[in-house]
Amino acid sequence: MKRRVAILISGRGSNMAALIAAARAVDFPAEIVVVISNRADAGGLETAGASGIPTVVIESKPFGRDRAAFEAMLQRALDQHNVELICLAGFMRLFTEQFVQRWHGRMLNIHPSLLPSFPGLDPHGQALKAGVRISGATVHFVIPKTDAGPIVMQGAVAVAGDDTPDTLAARILEIEHRIYPEALRLLASGKVRLVGNVCRVSGNAASDAALISPAAG
């Protein structure tokens, strides 16, 4: 039985599109049953609709700072679609601790840095300012603290000397599109378990490919 997944978006939804594409595979252990946006003008809604995925808009702006009221409407939509897992894909709204705890171990997010480094806004600018040689993306479970949940999967790219935040973001986005579907596959297939604040993956085999930057002689 495939796990039923909701994707939450606020914008173009490029990671959403990657998840939808991956879920088309017959052997993928999850199905995308609904895409929910807190903005009616989110570009990803059209993409989802064109893919045959039901969409729901729950505008967050009218709720102001009343996050609990917004989440009550969101939870109602999730219940109506019998959602089991949530993937955040550029969803620009913070949750209350109560909502996060309700979905503990069942809600994923992706962040464009190698967490715990460079959480929050402008991770690419943070990485370049710090002078790191390697950056990347992280899929993690959502906890009340932003960008701090147990890490499910990471992917890395080398940082070039002439990189700008935009060029680095473009390369990392390709990594995001690769690792987010794979992280969902692991979770939906029951290969992920949480031990405290650490994610354990059964049958996990790390890649033996080394990424060294600058390239070693």
Tokens representing 138 are 């992280």
AA letter at 80 = Q
Can you state the angle between helices 165-188 and 123-130, rounded to 10 degrees? Answer: 120
Which residues fall within 8 angstroms of residue 198, CB to CB, at 6 or more apart? 150
Burial 167-198 (b: 16+ CB within 10 A, else e): ebbebbeebbbebbbebbbbbbeeebeeeeee
Could you say which of 81, 104, 111, 177 is catalytic?
A: 111
Cα(203)–Cα(213) distance, integer angstroms: 29
The reply to whether 111 belongs to the active site is yes
Is 214 in contact with 139 (CB distance < 8 Å)? no
Tokens representing 95 are 């949750």
Tokens representing 117 are 């480094």
Concatenating the DSSP letter of every residue in 201-216 gives ETT---------SSPP
- Catalytic residues, by residue number, are 111
